[in-house]
């Protein structure tokens, strides 16, 4: 399908119709899984939810450039959109949400949102904010040492740049031109703390001080993020070094199900951002370019909702690990 | 005198100190408008303004490091670490810096800071919102480590900590924040940072414990007394470093038997130190092995409730150990 | 078989592992052209190139963090921390990250890294080039902490550490780097990371020690045997966490008396854990209090020689303690 | 004394002749104390020397803007030039070098170069590199909170910017416009590691990313450093916030008396830098502007050498602390 006008944005990015649908679908899956998680929380079944809502464009736009199982991903706790795109399943997500034995991330040991997949090169993540960055730099260095073309993507919120680890990794990656992409999903808040008390100056601009490019992109525009990440991934694969991407977005939910955001932000602000919902925005783009219509969308959504519900049911019925399994796998065997 | 839980008592302690001393301030993540993730600092920013109750960036080394710098320039900062599990980035500033300023300057520079950190297992907290981290800090001369359990003690010791010219790490077991209420004096009441507390006298066995485990120990002690007439002396160190050895030793010299219980991973825990002190200093009085109970040596409590419950020493296990000791 | 000191033995262990396994590499401050501030890595950059022997920026969290990242992508990094005193910035990456990868991923991700760190008092080292930091790490399940003393052990255990799928903290007492030479096997020789070593058998008392203090203990043990016929069994844990309790317990069950000596600040040191294990598990065999000897509870050794010497447990103090125990 | 030409540099900086002499004298004192320390080392009397040689211009140029005992200084181990300028004495320096009881920094507890003076607001310093920066930010915050006009200067080598503490402090200072000056004395080496393996991009340029000015100055030109620091101090006093100054200089000695720099740097490189010795350079400026002549210089130097020798002798004859004093002052009394 082509339009008569000047080339559409996705065309200049070499994205086919199938790509666009995959991207859209991935965003929708992430959203529906997330929404379902909140329902389970309200039903008293899920003790803790941490959300990707509002950040789907930043996540999918960036991760769509990765080769699952070849490149490495260091996600942070909101990156379910990414990990689902790369091959984790809604079922796995719900198993993790409910802490069941089959939880692919940790067998019920970790909180939800602490992703891990050895097969997909999604490195086990944890709660301490920022620790992933030096690790990601190391992983990138291994690729470089072996002359391989793998790249590493390391993600975090804007507050993950406040700790020393981020800086140490930026510096090291700059020194050795490592194939790593730092993706900062700046969603304005760190729990209650607004970014003006979190970040001096500009995150994106800091890259220059380390001798590599930094881009600030509209994080709610999936194509803009895709474009920036594409350039960054290609640059890294070529061996030209790291890139920092600051995707400006917004946290549409409270920090987590434990948080009450009425203490620190106005409802109007949230409402204003709801209008910029990245999924609605991309939908609009697809509609406008004749790549999706209302029927198709409904059908896709219905299908997604159905299998999300199924995945959730599966997880609800799945067993917990035996209590004594808490003792296992402390040390790998020599 | 009003009934308060631990959380309220700590809140009140902070508010009173800030009212009576302008140099007292709070800094940490989400301590301001949000009032802290546990609501300990709720309302304080409204009362004292955004500088004296300061939301910091997410940077624990900065939080403690800047607290040190504030303290050498006239302030008495209370730094909050959101969860004790996240204190490692501040480790250097605590053990190498704050704890050593006084000694290394031959007494010229004091560092009157207090570092509050909620620790311990809580449902849903999992590996990184559950750790008992006290052992990391109980080998550091120059630092005081306190871990009061009951609301009135906590408030009074917080005041002592804030007024202390030395750096104090102030640990709060988060699962006990709302567990009980007790009468908490309004003002003035201070508890020194070098005195253990005997909660219950008894001649048969001594139990040393703190935090959530102390509650369980007291419960079991009551039960054993009632049901079997076994009288347990329950001692709470309150300050973990440097510890009041005297009170513990005196108790063991009386009972001849010691059980130490904490929620930390057992090997390398502070319980080991207590056992070591007793087996060196009260050996002649001991009628039984010193027994320790703690969490198993696995990284931390799991998210899934069954595994989490398995991790924490249960009332049953504690009772069994107390009985074993009493009957030894 | 050639005679080597500790420094050479560690150097050789590194070189051999790098020769036999391409994925083994070294990273740290000044490990390259300079060959390390103690010269442990001398010549290795020449042999293996600037990537496999990588000079990092001065950033310990980065050193360990990137080692973790290297290790999950096929490498076996040996990270050097220039002085153990400077390991705190890496504390988070070690205790919260490296040590927990395997458990938290339910066995999916291993972290085969080795972290070398020279520790212990050395003349002129003062507060920040002297600390015995082992206790910070001996409450962390998932991590192994080893502290071999003799050259042949060190080489063999370094090889085991590098080949181990778990993160290993490898401590080297810097004052013993050139203290003695002994025969060190060329290749192949491995010492497992879970076995203590009995240096000297004896039926009168047991001494557990490691590092510089072990040398002193062995010396005094020899002297007491010769002069007074007191026979000391000297046990070196070699691995401090998780520790080989069996060997220690067996010895104490034989002698009934235990002295634990280390150079660390005594309160909260690993010696406490050893004493606790013994007083729980071997109580019935004990004929005397478990005695600990260590440095006093002051921040660390001072720069001025007289104060430094005063800090380190002396042969006289060790002899006195051994005699006290033997005569108890 | 005036020159007929356009105004001399020092005039545009409002520096009087007396200032220039003080500055020159301070540089020379620092150098002579340092040289004497090496002699004591070679004589086997001083176990450890760490040097300021080559960095006198950076140190004196910057610190000349401070008000001793009012402003705070967080020096690093090479900053003897600064601490001497602010009021520490050569005698104190040698007492510290030899670890004697009268050592004003620590009574023989710390290594030489770990400065401390409660009266002079020189905050006790230590060996772990970089820890001073968050502390300095906190001290600056206290001034700001009380509305006082004190400023804080925090110093380190270029490698002190590699650790997280530097970054955390930069960010925090930028957020709150704190009255702090970060002075990075970039002397090309961190022990053996050259700055190209230490620093990606540019240290000075990084300030922009935190929203405040960063200046790269010739660290061997005392007037250039003075000028940059003057501006920074004034800015801080006005309440306008932090400044980063990167003074490009060179470590003229080995890292310390324990180091053998032949392992990692060429003699030619050192020789080339010797020609740029900041003291000789400033001397030349003073000569050219008729502010100093050979006789005056000789006299000053002789006088300095004499009292430096005296100070050194005093220290040699001073007693050690008793061994048991190692037990004192672990805790301040409640
Ligand atoms: C080292 C550390 N300190 C504190 C916390 C507690 N904490 C969890 S998330 C969070 C805010 C993170 O904000 P940001 O990085 O912006 O990510 P967002 O949640 O906004 O996506 C904090 C303070 C933590 N997990 N780790
Ligand atoms: C945290 C820490 N890591 C390592 C060291 C060991 N060390 C002492 S000085 C130094 C190099 C510092 O270089 P730089 O900051 O450039 O200062 P310079 O000595 O060149 O003036 C190193 C690695 C230390 N003191 N602290
Ligand atoms: Mg955020
Ligand atoms: Mg340097």
Inform me whether the pLDDT recorded for A216 exceeds 70.
yes
Q: At a CB cut-off of 8 Å and minimum separation 6, what does D296 contact?
A: none
Out of A50, A55, A191, give the residue to mutate to test ligand 1, the one with the largest number of ligand atoms within 8 Å of its CB.
Answer: A191
Q: Which pLDDT score is estimated for A5?
A: 63
Q: Which of residues 6-25 of C touch A (CB under 8 A)?
A: 25
Helix or strand or coil: residue B228?
helix
Helix (H) or strand (E) holding D142: helix D132-145
Out of A48, A54, A129, give the residue to mutate to test ligand 1, the one with the largest number of ligand atoms within 8 Å of its CB.
Answer: A129
DSSP string, D11-50: HHTT--HHHHHHHHHHHHHHHHHHHHHHHHHHTT--S---
Q: At a CB cut-off of 8 Å and minimum separation 6, what does B49 contact?
A: none
C-alpha C193/C-alpha C211 separation (Å) is: 16
Inform me whether the pLDDT recorded for A2 exceeds 80.
no
Q: Which pLDDT score is estimated for B163?
A: 97
User: Of all protein residues, whose CA lies closest to atom 19 belonging to ligand 1?
Assistant: A190
Ligand 1 atom showing the smallest separation from residue A185 Cα: 21
C-alpha C241/C-alpha C167 separation (Å) is: 12
For residue A46, tell me if it sits in a domain.
yes
Inform me whether the pLDDT recorded for B15 exceeds 80.
yes
For residue D325, tell me if it sits in a domain.
no
Query: pTM of the full predicted structure?
Result: 0.98
* Chain A hits for B46, Cβ within 8 Å: none
| Residue-averaged pLDDT of chain A | 97
Q: Which two tokens stand for residue A120?
A: 């997909």
Q: Which of D257, D244, D255 lies closest to D212, judged by CA?
A: D244
Task: Say yes or no for a CB contact (<8 Å) between C141 and B297.
Answer: yes
Q: How many CB atoms lie within 10 A of CB A213?
A: 18
Q: Which two tokens stand for residue B244?
A: 């009041």
Confidence label for C41 from pLDDT (cuts 50, 70 and 90): very high
Average pLDDT (A77-89) is 98
Q: Are D185 and D244 in contact (CB under 8 A)?
A: no
Chain D residue with the nearest C-alpha to that of C62: D163
* Chain C hits for A129, Cβ within 8 Å: none
Q: Which of D213, D129, D144, D135 lies closest to D174, judged by CA?
A: D213
Q: Which pLDDT score is estimated for C1?
A: 78
Q: Are C198 and C235 in contact (CB under 8 A)?
A: yes
Q: Which pLDDT score is estimated for D1?
A: 46
Q: Are C80 and C116 in contact (CB under 8 A)?
A: yes
Chain D residue with the nearest C-alpha to that of A196: D175
Tokens 């704890």 belong to B99
Task: Say yes or no for a CB contact (<8 Å) between D130 and C88.
Answer: no
For residue A274, tell me if it sits in a domain.
yes
Domain that holds residue A190: 13-254+265-317
What values do phi and psi take at B70, rounded to 5?
-65, -40
β partners of residue B121: none
Helix or strand or coil: residue D313?
helix
- C175-194 pLDDT tens trace: 999 999 999 998 777 899 99
Average pLDDT (C71-92) is 98
| Residue-averaged pLDDT of chain B | 97
Helix or strand or coil: residue C113?
coil
Q: Which of A300, A214, A206, A220 lies closest to A252, judged by CA?
A: A220
Q: Which pLDDT score is estimated for D137?
A: 99
C-alpha B278/C-alpha D30 separation (Å) is: 55
Residue C279 has its nearest CB partner, among B96, B127, B279, at B279
What values do phi and psi take at C26, rounded to 5?
-125, 140
C-alpha A253/C-alpha A191 separation (Å) is: 11
- Mutation to test the D interface, candidates A163, A200, A214, A215, most D Cβ within 10 Å: A200
DSSP string, A225-248: HHHHHHHHHHHHHHT---EEEEEE
Per 3-state DSSP, what percentage of chain C is helix, strand, and coil (rounded to 5)? 45, 20, 35
Q: How many CB atoms lie within 10 A of CB B47?
A: 11
What total of structural domains would you count in chain D?
1
Ligand 1 contact, A184 CB (< 6 A):
no
Q: Return the CA Rg of chain D.
A: 20
Q: Which pLDDT score is estimated for C189?
A: 78
For residue D107, tell me if it sits in a domain.
yes
Chain B residue with the nearest C-alpha to that of D102: B106
Q: At a CB cut-off of 8 Å and minimum separation 6, what does B262 contact?
A: B132, B134, B209, B210, B211, B213, B269, B270, B271, B293, B294
- C132-169 pLDDT tens trace: 999 999 999 999 999 999 999 999 999 999 999 999 99
Q: Which pLDDT score is estimated for D3?
A: 47
- A249-305 pLDDT tens trace: 999 999 999 999 999 999 999 999 999 999 999 999 999 999 999 999 999 999 999
- Tell me, in angstroms, the distance from the centre of ligand 2 to residue C175's CA: 21
Q: Which pLDDT score is estimated for A1?
A: 46
Q: At a CB cut-off of 8 Å and minimum separation 6, what does D154 contact?
A: D74, D132, D133, D135, D136, D137, D169, D180, D181, D182, D183
C-alpha D118/C-alpha D141 separation (Å) is: 19
Q: Which residues of C are catalytic?
A: 129
Task: Say yes or no for a CB contact (<8 Å) between C59 and D100.
Answer: no
Q: Which of A127, A52, A46 lies closest to A85, judged by CA?
A: A52
Q: Which residues of D are catalytic?
A: 251, 255, 264
- Low-confidence residues of chain D: pLDDT under 70: 1-5
Q: Which two tokens stand for residue D327?
A: 């037990």
Ligand 2 atom showing the smallest separation from residue D128 Cα: 26
Residue C92 has its nearest CB partner, among A131, A137, A146, at A131
Ligand 2 atom showing the smallest separation from residue D189 Cα: 20
Q: Are C141 and C196 in contact (CB under 8 A)?
A: no
- C97-134 pLDDT tens trace: 999 999 999 999 999 999 999 999 999 999 999 999 99
Question: Which of A125-129, C53-57, D4-8 is predicted with the least confidence, judged by mean pLDDT?
Answer: D4-8
Q: Are D55 and D323 in contact (CB under 8 A)?
A: no
Residue D200 has its nearest CB partner, among A171, A199, A203, at A171
For residue D83, tell me if it sits in a domain.
yes
Helix or strand or coil: residue B262?
strand
Task: Say yes or no for a CB contact (<8 Å) between B291 and C280.
Answer: yes
Out of A159, A192, A264, give the residue to mutate to test ligand 1, the one with the largest number of ligand atoms within 8 Å of its CB.
Answer: A159
- Tell me, in angstroms, the distance from the centre of ligand 3 to residue A277's CA: 16
Any chain D CB within 8 A of the CB of B178? no
- A34-58 pLDDT tens trace: 999 999 999 999 999 999 999 999 9
C-alpha D282/C-alpha D223 separation (Å) is: 8
Task: Say yes or no for a CB contact (<8 Å) between B58 and A160.
Answer: yes
- B66-91 pLDDT tens trace: 999 999 999 999 999 999 999 999 99
Q: Which two tokens stand for residue C119?
A: 């520790």
Q: Which of residues 126-185 of D touch A (CB under 8 A)?
A: 161-168, 170-175
Task: Say yes or no for a CB contact (<8 Å) between D321 and C62.
Answer: no
C-alpha B92/C-alpha C206 separation (Å) is: 36
Q: Which of C219, C283, C217, C273 lies closest to C244, judged by CA?
A: C273
DSSP structure class, residue A114: -
Q: How many CB atoms lie within 10 A of CB C103?
A: 27
Ligand 2 atom showing the smallest separation from residue D186 Cα: 16
Tokens 């092995």 belong to B289
The crossing angle, in degrees rounded to 10, of helices C212-228 and C315-327 is: 50
For residue A190, tell me if it sits in a domain.
yes
Tokens 């000191």 belong to C5
For residue D329, tell me if it sits in a domain.
no
Phi-psi domain of D27 (left: phi exceeds 0; alpha: psi -120 through 50; beta: other): alpha
DSSP string, B26-86: EEETT-STT--TTSTTTTHHHHHHHHHEEEPPS-HHHHHHHHHHHHTTT-EEEEE-SSGGG
User: Of all protein residues, whose CA lies closest to atom 3 belonging to ligand 2?
Assistant: C86
Task: Say yes or no for a CB contact (<8 Å) between C62 and A137.
Answer: yes
Q: Are strands C197-200 and C232-236 parallel, antiparallel or unpaired?
A: antiparallel
C-alpha A205/C-alpha A214 separation (Å) is: 6
Q: Which two tokens stand for residue D180?
A: 């702090």
Q: Identify the active-site residue in B129, B173, B189, B199.
A: B129
d(CA C241, nearest CA chain D) in Å: 26
Q: At a CB cut-off of 8 Å and minimum separation 6, what does A33 contact?
A: A80, A84, A90, A93, A94, A308, A311
CATH value at residue A209: 3.40.50.970
Q: Are A189 and D181 in contact (CB under 8 A)?
A: no
Q: Which pLDDT score is estimated for C187?
A: 78
Any chain D CB within 8 A of the CB of A326? no
Domains of chain C as residue ranges with CATH: 2-184 (3.40.50.970), 197-326 (3.40.50.920)
Average pLDDT (C219-248) is 98
Q: Which of B115, B179, B158 lies closest to B11, judged by CA?
A: B158
Task: Say yes or no for a CB contact (<8 Å) between D172 and B102.
Answer: no
For residue A260, tell me if it sits in a domain.
no
Inform me whether the pLDDT recorded for A4 exceeds 80.
no
Q: Which of residues 190-229 of D touch C (CB under 8 A)?
A: 190-193, 197-199
Task: Say yes or no for a CB contact (<8 Å) between A264 and B123.
Answer: no
Q: Which of B266, B271, B270, B307 lies closest to B138, judged by CA?
A: B270
Inform me whether the pLDDT recorded for B60 exceeds 80.
yes
Task: Say yes or no for a CB contact (<8 Å) between A200 and D167.
Answer: no
Q: Which pLDDT score is estimated for D5?
A: 63
User: Of all protein residues, whose CA lies closest to atom 6 belonging to ligand 2?
Assistant: C82
Any chain D CB within 8 A of the CB of C80? no
Pocket of ligand 2 (CB under 6 A): C 29, 58, 60, 82, 86, 89; D 78, 127-129, 156-160, 187, 189-191, 251, 255
| Pairs of CB atoms within 8 A across B/D | 141
What ipTM does this complex have? 0.98
Which subunits sit against C, judged by 3+ Cβ pairs under 8 A? A, B, D
User: Of all protein residues, whose CA lies closest to atom 20 belonging to ligand 1?
Assistant: A190
Confidence label for C19 from pLDDT (cuts 50, 70 and 90): very high
**CB-neighbour burial class of residue A333 (10 A; exposed 0-12, middle 13-18, buried 19+):** exposed
């Amino acid at each position: 399908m082509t339009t008569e006008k000047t080339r559409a944005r996705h065309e200049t990015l070499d994205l086919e119709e199938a790509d666009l649908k995959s991207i859209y679908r991935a965003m929708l899956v992430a959203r529906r899984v997330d929404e379902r998680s909140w329902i389970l929380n309200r039903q008293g079944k899920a003790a803790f939810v941490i959300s990707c809502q509002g950040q789907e464009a930043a996540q999918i736009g960036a991760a769509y450039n990765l080769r699952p199982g070849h490149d490495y991903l260091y996600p942070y706790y909101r990156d379910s959109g990414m990990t689902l795109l790369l091959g984790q399943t809604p079922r796995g997500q719900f198993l993790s949400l409910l802490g069941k034995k089959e939880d692919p991330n940790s067998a019920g040991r970790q909180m939800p949102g602490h992703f891990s997949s050895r097969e997909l090169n999604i490195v086990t993540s944890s709660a301490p904010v920022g620790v992933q960055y030096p690790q990601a730099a190391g992983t990138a260095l291994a690729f470089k040492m072996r002359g391989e073309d793998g790249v590493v993507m390391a993600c975090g919120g804007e507050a993950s740049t406040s700790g020393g680890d981020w800086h140490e990794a930026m510096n090291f990656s700059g020194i050795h031109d490592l194939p790593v992409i730092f993706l900062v999903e700046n969603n304005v808040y760190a729990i209650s703390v607004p970014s003006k008390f979190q970040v001096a100056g500009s995150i994106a601009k800091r890259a220059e001080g380390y001798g590599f490019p930094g881009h600030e992109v509209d994080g709610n525009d999936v194509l803009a993020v895709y474009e920036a990440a594409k350039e960054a991934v290609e640059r890294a694969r070529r061996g030209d070094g790291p890139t920092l991407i600051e995707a400006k977005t917004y946290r549409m939910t409270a920090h987590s199900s434990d948080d009450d955001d009425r203490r620190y932000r106005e409802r109007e602000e949230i409402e204003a951002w709801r209008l910029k919902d990245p999924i609605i925005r991309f939908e609009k783009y697809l509609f406008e370019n004749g790549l999706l219509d209302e029927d198709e969308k409904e059908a896709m959504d219905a299908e997604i909702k159905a299998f999300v519900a199924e995945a959730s049911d599966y997880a609800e019925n799945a067993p917990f690990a035996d209590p004594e399994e808490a003792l296992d796998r402390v040390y790998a065997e020599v | 005198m009003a009934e308060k839980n631990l959380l309220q008592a700590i809140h009140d302690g902070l508010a009173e100190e800030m009212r009576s001393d302008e140099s007292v301030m709070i800094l940490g993540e989400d301590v301001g408008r949000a009032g802290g993730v546990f609501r300990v600092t709720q309302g304080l920013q409204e009362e004292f303004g955004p500088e004296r109750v300061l939301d910091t960036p997410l940077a624990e080394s900065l939080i403690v490091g800047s607290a040190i710098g504030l303290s050498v320039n006239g302030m008495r900062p209370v730094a909050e670490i959101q969860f004790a599990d996240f204190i490692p980035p501040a480790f250097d500033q605590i053990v190498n810096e704050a704890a050593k300023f006084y000694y290394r300057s031959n007494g010229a520079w004091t560092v009157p800071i207090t570092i509050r950190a909620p620790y311990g297992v809580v449902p849903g907290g999992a590996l990184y919102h559950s750790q008992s981290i006290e052992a990391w800090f109980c080998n550091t001369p120059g630092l005081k480590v306190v871990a009061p359990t009951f609301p009135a003690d906590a408030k009074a010791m917080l005041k002592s900590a804030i007024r202390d010219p030395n750096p104090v790490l102030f640990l709060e077991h988060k699962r006990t924040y709302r567990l009980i209420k007790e009468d908490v004096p309004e003002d003035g009441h201070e508890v020194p940072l070098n005195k253990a507390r005997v909660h219950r006298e008894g001649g048969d066995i001594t139990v040393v414990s703190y935090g959530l485990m102390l509650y369980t120990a007291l419960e079991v002690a009551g039960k054993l007394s009632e049901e079997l007439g076994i009288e347990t002396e329950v001692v709470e160190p309150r300050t973990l470093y440097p510890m009041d050895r005297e009170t513990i030793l005196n108790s063991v010299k009386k009972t001849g038997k010691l059980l130490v219980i904490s929620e930390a991973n057992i090997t390398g825990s502070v319980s080991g130190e207590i056992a070591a002190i007793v087996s060196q200093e009260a050996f002649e009085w001991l009628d039984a092995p010193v027994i320790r109970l703690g969490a198993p040596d696995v990284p931390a409590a799991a998210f899934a409730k069954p595994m989490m419950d398995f991790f924490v020493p249960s009332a049953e296990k504690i009772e069994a150990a107390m009985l074993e000791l009493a009957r030894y």
